[in-house]
Amino acid sequence: MLLQTDGLLVITVYRGHSGAEKESTEVNKFLKTLPKQNYSVLKGCYINQGDKSPYWIMIQKNKEG
């Protein structure tokens, strides 16, 4: 189980180290597989800090499934 119902998980993804782009790609690929009926997944980033700046992901479990 990733989260309990109404649970919230926040992840900060750092892209400045070796291998970070691959990690970022794999995290995003996994999160895209979460069923939208059960999870809300939000992603936020800095607009003025460059392509390698950290970004955050928020995952909320809306209901069991």
Q: Residue 1's pLDDT is what?
A: 62
Q: What is the mean pLDDT of residues 3-7?
A: 92
Burial class for 55, CB neighbours closer than 10 Å (0-12, 13-18, 19+): middle
23-55: pLDDT as tens digits: 999 999 999 999 999 999 999 999 999 889 999
Cβ count within 10 A of residue 64: 8
Q: Contact, 16 vs 52, CB < 8 A? A: yes
Domain ranges of the chain: 8-61
pLDDT value at 64 more than 90: no
Q: Residue 63's pLDDT is what?
A: 82
Q: Residue 4's pLDDT is what?
A: 92
Q: Contact, 38 vs 65, CB < 8 A? A: yes
Q: What is the mean pLDDT of residues 18-24?
A: 94
Q: Residue 51's pLDDT is what?
A: 86
* Secondary structure (3-state) at 58: strand
